[in-house]
């Protein structure tokens, strides 16, 4: 079973970086399809690692060390920096603003 080591992106509803600094080791789901339980109609899977096991680490090196120590094959995904331009609300009213103000 292969594990994926990555730093999750922050939620769209978050303004801070609370849960986006730690690294997550998460198992890749197996190729087995989920089955539907006939009585209640719930979906279930025999693969508990992919859906229930998530390990958090402070650094990428700690996550890699854990995976190698326990013989887990892993794949590291480096985080991508957000391509955002920080801009204050008052920048809309600057005198040297590029572009026309439309209202």
Asked if residues 79 and 60 have their Cβ atoms less than 8 Å apart, the reply is: no
Copy the structure tokens of residue 24: 């997550």
- pLDDT digits 0-9 by tens, 41-90: 888 777 777 677 899 999 999 999 999 999 999 999 998 876 777 778 88
Tell me the average pLDDT across 34-39: 85
| pLDDT at residue number 66 | 96
CB half-sphere exposure, 6, CA atoms < 13 A: 13
Spatial separation of the C-alpha atoms in residues 51 and 43, rounded to whole Å: 12
Q: Residue 22 CB: number of other CB atoms within 10 A?
A: 15
Q: What's the pTM?
A: 0.66
């Amino acid at each position: 079973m292969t594990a994926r080591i990555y730093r999750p992106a922050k939620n769209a509803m978050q303004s801070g970086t609370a849960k986006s600094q730690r690294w997550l080791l998460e198992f890749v789901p197996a190729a087995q399809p989920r089955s539907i339980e006939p009585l209640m109609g719930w979906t279930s899977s025999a693969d508990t690692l992919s859906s229930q096991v998530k390990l958090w680490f402070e650094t990428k090196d700690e996550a890699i060390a854990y995976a190698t120590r326990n013989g887990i094959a892993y794949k590291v995904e480096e985080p991508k920096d957000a391509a955002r331009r920080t801009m204050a609300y008052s920048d809309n009213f600057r005198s040297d603003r590029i572009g026309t103000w439309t209202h």
